[in-house]
Every structure is written in structure tokens, then in C-alpha cells.
């Protein structure tokens, strides 16, 4: 599957549903982004069941702000609407493939339980501080 350009308008539809989605936050002027692009494209061709999106941080500044993007390239991995990974840096192909396999292997019921637990802990901390 080729990569898809993501915008504020299509982001939730392309990334928020079931399955795995990878998002590459990049900019035209970014040298490491240009070096990572062919790696990202090759891996997308090997994984047609995964959505591979690209966010141009210059054109889509609102998305960059929402995801607190401070340096590029930054890779975001989402599975079943849950963000699993967000790190800056251009990955080698083998490392990217390894991250994808780790995302595939996760027990999402366990992940959702941990997310709910962390949210509950944060709520109790917020109430205690109020």
C-alpha cells in the first residue's frame, strides 16, 4: 500500500479506526525526513494491511501541535485507536519492521486495561491536588 497524505480533515478516518496505522510527521526542508521517506515507502509496500500516513508539519500545523511534535521526522504508531509509540528520529528499515511486528503482537485488551488504569490513577491524583 502506498502512503497516504494525512490532513486535519481525514486524520481521524484514516488513523482512528481498527487496525494499525503509522504516521510519519515530516517537512519538505528536513534532510533526515527525506532520507527516511524511501524506507517508509518500502515498508509500506511490504505491509498492505497497515495504513501508512504522512503529515506535512508545515501544511498541517494543527496536527503537529495536537501530537506535540517538536522534532521531525517523528513516527507515531496507532493500533485500534490507541497511540502505542511516538518518537522522533529516522529509523532504519529493520527497526521499523521490528516496531510493526511488536505492534502486531500486542494484546490490545491488556493495553486498553493499562490505559484505563493509568487514566483512573491520574483522575485520583488530580482530585487529591484540587
Selection from 48, 49, 22 nearest residue 37 by Cα? 22
- Give the largest Cα separation in the chain, rounded: 50
Per-residue model confidence (pLDDT) at position 1: 54
What residues are annotated to the active site?
30, 33
Please say whether the beta carbons of 96 and 43 come within 8 A.
yes
Q: What is the tens place of the pLDDT at every residue in 73-130?
A: 999 999 999 999 999 999 999 999 999 999 999 888 888 888 888 888 887 777 777 6
Q: Which residues share a beta bridge with 20?
A: 79
Mean per-residue pLDDT for 18-44? Answer: 96
| CATH 1.10.10.10 is right for the domain spanning 4-129 | no
Please say whether the beta carbons of 64 and 25 come within 8 A.
yes
Q: List phi, psi (to 5°) of 72.
A: -130, 155
49 pLDDT band, cuts 50/70/90, is very high
- For residues 89 and 45, give the distance between their C-alpha atoms in angstroms, rounded to a whole number: 21
- The domain limits of the chain are 4-129
Q: Mean pLDDT over all residues of the chain?
A: 92
Least confident stretch, 11-15, 40-44, 113-117: 113-117
- For residues 27 and 58, give the distance between their C-alpha atoms in angstroms, rounded to a whole number: 6
- For residues 74 and 27, give the distance between their C-alpha atoms in angstroms, rounded to a whole number: 10
What percentage of residues in the chain have a pLDDT greater than 90? 75
Amino acid at each position: 500500500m502506498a502512503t497516504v497524505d494525512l490532513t486535519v480533515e481525514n486524520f481521524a478516518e484514516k488513523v482512528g479506526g481498527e487496525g494499525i496505522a503509522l504516521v510519519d510527521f515530516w517537512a519538505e526542508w528536513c534532510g533526515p525526513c527525506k532520507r527516511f521517506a524511501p524506507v517508509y515507502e518500502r515498508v509500506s509496500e511490504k505491509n498492505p494491511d497497515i495504513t501508512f500516513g504522512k503529515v506535512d508539519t508545515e501544511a498541517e500545523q494543527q496536527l503537529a501541535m495536537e501530537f506535540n511534535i517538536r522534532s521531525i521526522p517523528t513516527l507515531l504508531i496507532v493500533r485500534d485507536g490507541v497511540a502505542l509509540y511516538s518518537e522522533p528520529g529516522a529509523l532504519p528499515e529493520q527497526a521499523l519492521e521490528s516496531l510493526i511486528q511488536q505492534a502486531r503482537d500486542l494484546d490490545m485488551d491488556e493495553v486498553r486495561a493499562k490505559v484505563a488504569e493509568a487514566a483512573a490513577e491520574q483522575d485520583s491524583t488530580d482530585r487529591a491536588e484540587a
